[in-house]
Structure 1
């Protein structure tokens, strides 16, 4: 296993920027199954009105509510942000398809969504069969989801002149032992399903941790109480992904008072190169990867800047 490295200043600033009041509150209040509110926050950059702007998409869900928020930075008024909120009431079918409009620096932003057939998998963000479209001056400035044809047909918009970019995604997940998220690392249109699991039923009841991507276990960490911080490079479809973890709060704090933090970042680090070759040959180690086509010594030369920050909250 490669040595642990703290996230860089840029990674830490990404993790703290665009923080919602809910996320700030989570760091201080004990979490229970009643107060747990999952959030998935993704930040994109797209061209609107002749400027590159940050667009933040916020999915939020608890026992009684489910909402979608859209926040767009203003370039004319400094740090001011323009936003709209959509309540996706589970008992009201009509709220799952709709249209809203708001203004950003004199530009009319149209938001279209259709979640009537959306499929979910434990996250407030749908995994398939949906679209959320942002349109400005008849141009599709941002499109989320896999219903692209339906989105273009409904909005009657044209393709963007400049393709938007995804910066990072932050997700707060609540569970007893299994935490999942989805992310797109290699610039393709397919999302990867990421699952982190923890168990204390191993040898001598020492806690163990597994990380799997697309249903294939790529990392099995034993003796977690001694390796609660670390980093490793995994490879998915010949594409390297750095994984950083810090689960100190899981092991040494009261339940609900802290989270396990996982950072998934495309590319391989220099410190990992030597260890990565050794791990990919499938040799036995405490941090081992199963035999699969997902692990390889080959890497891609095109590295995305996208990062996934997964905040895993244990709820008893």
Structure 2
């Protein structure tokens, strides 16, 4: 088996809201997304880490260069107990000035830590938008840029933490602007002497690994939307670790079919493709 690619060093799938299969569904508490952006004509990586606990929710923003060297990190205070609307100016290590603007005052949330609608988040430099998220773009442009300009940010990586017992769910798109699929991972490591791993896409079995105690790590290629998707898995901690140990899954596709797209022509520092990385906690 090949080594797992780096969670954020390459590219990622786009994900919708996710949940678990516990009796009372446990909301995931951490989602990290990485965007490849252009900052003053140079490629940079912007990482947004959304977190949620019983008391509050929060957002951490990290900016790095194309070599993953950190340029700055900004923590936005939990907005359940502080103002949900604000802005901040930051000077990067290379003396570049950026402005961060957010408005979560009307945000609606699902089971995860990310807002679903009624929000905006923007990063700008020299009055040009670098990254813009949310459905309140007009409000963001008033703060970040004099005239609306199409963004050049590309969603390149995502990591999710999901909790459950035997069955775990999420939603994913395996290509840019592609169809959203229901993704299910099923694995019973407690009630059987010979655990089996099953992965379904839109309720269809696409992969089954028997004799899991001997095959707790591996990779296999499946087809989704006619595209080859390579699945990597590591369930060692589920089988031989603690009862609440995590497994790791990666779903990686090749984007060579879209290499003609202008969005990816300048992505020289990152191989073309999407991948989804899941940390799945078998929570008993």
In structure 2, the residue matched to 1:165 is 154
Could you tell me the TM-score, scaled by structure 2's length?
Answer: 0.71
Structure with the higher fraction of residues in helix conformation = 1
Structural mapping, 1:8-19, within 5 Å: 11=5, 14-15=6-7
Consecutive unaligned residues in structure 1, runs of 5 or more: 18-35, 269-299
> Which residue of structure 2 aligns with residue 6 of structure 1?
2
Q: TM-score, normalised by structure 1?
A: 0.65
Deviation of 1:265 (Å): 0.6
Q: Say if 2:203 is the partner of 1:212.
A: no
CA drift of 1:128 comes to: 4.9
Contact 1:181 1:194 (C-alpha < 8 Å) held by counterparts: yes
Structure 2: state its 5+ residue gaps.
Answer: 10-26, 260-271
The structure richer in strand per residue is: 2
Which residue of 2 is the match for residue 59 of structure 1?
Answer: 50
Matches of 1:50 and 1:143 in 2, distance apart?
Answer: 17
Bigger Cα displacement from structure 2, 45-54 vs 206-215: 206-215
Contact 1:120–1:128 (8 Å) recurs in 2 = no
Cα drift, residue 262 of structure 1: 0.5
Quick check: 1:83–1:102 contact (8 Å CA) kept in 2?
no
Matched length = 252
Q: Which has the bigger relative contact order, CA under 8 A and spacing at least 6?
A: 2
> CA, structure 1 residues 99+180, in 2 after alignment: closer, same or farther (shift >3 Å)?
farther
Matched residue, 1:301: 257
Offset, 1:155: 4.3
> 1:264 aligned to 2:251?
yes
The aligned residue for residue 37 of structure 2 is 46
Contact 2:248 2:278 in 1 (8 A): yes
Q: In 2, are the aligned partners of 1:231 and 1:244 still within 8 Å (CA)?
A: yes
Question: Would the alpha carbon gap of residues 140 and 181 (structure 1) be closer, same or farther in structure 2, given more than 3 Å must change?
Answer: farther
Does residue 142 in structure 1 map to residue 142 in structure 2? no
Q: Distance in 2 between matches of 1:170 and 1:306?
A: 12
1:310 aligns to 2:278 (yes or no): yes
